[in-house]
Structure 1
Amino acid sequence: MEDILKKIIAQTTQDLKARKKTTSLSELRDMPAYSRKVISLYQSLKNGSGIIAEHKRQSPSKGSFKCPRSLEEVVKGYEKAGASAISCLTDQPFFGGTLQDLIEARGVVNIPILRKDFMIDLYQVHEAKAFGADAILLIASCLNNEELKTMSLEAMNLGLELLFEVHDLEELTRIKEVTDAFAIEKYVIGVNNRDLKRFQTDIQNSNNLIPYFPSGVIAISESGISNPEVVKELRTLGFQGFLIGETFMKTEQPGASCEQFIKAINS
């Protein structure tokens, strides 16, 4: 079966070259959002519902979700529903997102925004800051340890927070090695229940990895979560956050769906 991740990374590399030619680093630094103080993802997850509600128009495995609501309606609905944060996909070829989505979302909500993309270059860290993100996603399967360290330090220097994504114990061990190499006070590790190579989902992945998480970190379960009872179970295992997109985006009103979901997990 085709390795979708390799295809995505190849396309991301190509698109990145074009963006670098269009917008310089100095131009990114001049954008209004670049100087803003970020809203803490870590604190919002710790003190709120734990739901990171995702704006995602499509996926490589499911195609378009055909959500009839605008980005503004969706993210404002998520905030009103009680989401701790917004995940905003900015990959265009595979997920239908854009960097402009970050700006639009930042303009209408007052909760943290995670830039969800395939981050492979320091330039993207500066893009995230310039377009209004509060945190970035670093996927272990896309980066070696040196790249993880370099991009983490760059993000921290810009005031951005970090969500490290892992899929297996080897990747989790690598992230622990990286974070042990320097002092990070506020970071989050997420288990992606979806295999990025074949886009198959298994919630058991979260169950298997949580015993190996470092103490003090906020643990997130990502992908394939559609049942509030699953969230309740994952909470008992130690998860404090849950990244959910498709479950909401495939409905007529994602904000209302998110609100019902949060009420259900708290009942």
Structure 2
Amino acid sequence: MTAGTYLDRIVVQHRDAARADRRDADDLMEQARSCPPTRDFRAQLVSVSSLAVIAEVKRRSPSKGDLRADLDPAELARQYESGGAACLSVLTDSEWFGGSASDLQAARSATSLPALRKDFTVDDRDVLDARIMGADCVLLIVAALNDDELTRFCALARDVGLDALVEVHDEAELERALSAGADLVGVNQRDLVTFEVDRARAARLAPVIPAGVVSVAESGIEGPADVARLAEAGYGAVLVGESLVRSTDAAAAVRALVASGH
């Protein structure tokens, strides 16, 4: 990671919290293994006949501030499902994104869709917490983890029944993700240093993502034209947040994205 990026600051905070966490990991593992079965996140993406839409519940972001003051996670999730979203993504980071475990639980309970816990996983307990709070998939950001952590968290997620969306920003990170056993890879088009979106990034990486690995394009996806371009590049799914959250009709906005992915 480049020193001083927004990701550095967030990850430092999460690692500090993990070091201060005195909960027993064995107890958490026992809780995680006794949870009800998950909804299969990756299989849901694969089952969709066109490019799948992962619709995000997101209150705010470090770059844009508050996105929607009156956000109701359950109602927004219902609109997403009505519009044809394949899966949900829910921010649970509180300090930077205004999210919470209760946001994830409310959104998931309101629909039949699998849900990604969108947060900064830096410790085994974060993976176990995702399972315990009701998530079906956990986010692993390659830029925030070393190889040992990446491999361990992928294996732990599988062990407790979670899928792992492994997020990369370039070819080197993609190689690390694949070496760790990732079968669900997200390509984030947002630069970690400048926070600018590079819409050519997903298209550039698409040809080197192996067959059998489900590819998800993330960030900078604002409308049907973006989705059509990513479908043409070979992506299996897109993760869309800000443009949907800000939309006056989220169901219609999702429907338009789904239609453009055919």
The whole-number CA distance in structure 2 between the counterparts of 1:200 and 1:170 is: 20
Out of 222, 237, 241, which is 1:241 matched to?
237
CA offset at residue 123 of structure 1? 0.2
Alignment of 1:20-59 (within 5 A): 20-21=21-22, 24-25=24-25, 28=28, 35-48=35-48, 49-59=51-61
The whole-number CA distance in structure 1 between the counterparts of 2:210 and 2:156 is: 23
CA offset at residue 77 of structure 1? 0.9
| Conservation of the 8 A alpha-carbon contact between 2:124 and 2:153 | yes
- TM-score scaled to structure 2, two decimals? 0.91
Residues 9-47 of structure 1, C-alpha deviations (whole Å, 9 max, x = no match)? 1121233455x34x6546646769952111111111112
Q: Classify 1:11/1:253 alpha carbon distance in 2 versus 1 (closer, same or farther; 3 Å).
A: farther
| Conservation of the 8 A alpha-carbon contact between 1:34 and 1:132 | no
Name the aligned partner's letter for residue 221 of structure 1: A
Task: Give the match for residue 76 of structure 1.
Answer: 78
Task: Give the match for residue 92 of structure 2.
Answer: 90
What secondary structure, in the 3-state scheme, does the structure 2 residue paired with 1:35 have?
Answer: coil
Name the aligned partner's letter for residue 138 of structure 1: L
Task: Give the match for residue 256 of structure 2.
Answer: 260
Out of 108, 117, 128, which is 1:106 matched to?
108
Comparing 69-78 with 120-129, which one deviates more in the overlay? 69-78
What secondary structure, in the 3-state scheme, does the structure 1 residue paired with 2:215 have?
Answer: strand
CA offset at residue 79 of structure 1? 1.1
What secondary structure, in the 3-state scheme, does the structure 1 residue paired with 2:180 have?
Answer: helix
Name the aligned partner's letter for residue 261 of structure 1: L
The whole-number CA distance in structure 2 between the counterparts of 1:16 and 1:90 is: 15
CA offset at residue 73 of structure 1? 0.6
| Conservation of the 8 A alpha-carbon contact between 1:75 and 1:255 | no
Task: Give the match for residue 151 of structure 1.
Answer: 153
Q: Classify 1:254/1:123 alpha carbon distance in 2 versus 1 (closer, same or farther; 3 Å).
A: same
The whole-number CA distance in structure 2 between the counterparts of 1:27 and 1:236 is: 46
CA offset at residue 259 of structure 1? 2.7
Task: Give the match for residue 162 of structure 2.
Answer: 160
Task: Give the match for residue 12 of structure 1.
Answer: 14
- TM-score scaled to structure 1, two decimals? 0.89
Runs of 4+ in 1 over 4 A off after TM superposition: 23-34
The reply to whether residue 117 of structure 1 matches residue 113 of structure 2 is: no
Q: Which runs of 5+ in 1 are unaligned?
A: none
Task: Give the match for residue 219 of structure 1.
Answer: 215
The whole-number CA distance in structure 2 between the counterparts of 1:123 and 1:243 is: 25
Out of 171, 191, 197, which is 1:201 matched to?
197
CA offset at residue 68 of structure 1? 2.8
Q: Which runs of 5+ in 2 are unaligned?
A: none
Residues 163-200 of structure 1, C-alpha deviations (whole Å, 9 max, x = no match)? 11100011011112222xxxx7xx31110001123321
What secondary structure, in the 3-state scheme, does the structure 2 residue paired with 1:200 have?
Answer: coil
Name the aligned partner's letter for residue 231 of structure 2: R
